[in-house]
Amino acid sequence: ANNAGGVGNINNENSATDPKNLRVKLVLLGDSGVGKSCIVLRFVRGQFDPTSKVTVGASFLSQTLALEDSTTVKFEIWDTAGQERYAALAPLYYRGAGAAIVVYDITSPESFNKAQYWVKELQKHGSPDMIMALVGNKADLNDNRSVSSQDAQEYAERNSMFFIETSAKTADNINQLFEEIAKRLPRPTPS
Ligand code: GDP
Q: Render pLDDT for 29-70 as a digit per residue (tens, 0 to 9).
A: 999 899 998 999 899 888 887 666 555 444 568 899 998 888
Q: How far does the centroid of ligand 1 lie from the alpha carbon of residue 167, in Å? A: 9
Q: How far does the centroid of ligand 1 lie from the alpha carbon of residue 36, in Å? A: 7
Q: How far does the centroid of ligand 1 lie from the alpha carbon of residue 50, in Å? A: 6
Please give the angle made by the CA atoms of 109, 90 and 123, to the nearest 5 degrees.
60
Q: Tell me the β-bridge partners of 61.
A: 7, 77
Q: Which atom of ligand 1 is nearest to the CA of 141?
A: 26
Q: Choose from 14-23, 32-41, 75-84, 129-138 the range with maximum mean pLDDT.
A: 129-138
pLDDT > 90 in the chain, percent: 59
Q: Which atom of ligand 1 is nearest to the CA of 40?
A: 7
For residue 52, the model assigns a pLDDT of 61
Average pLDDT over residues 109-131: 94
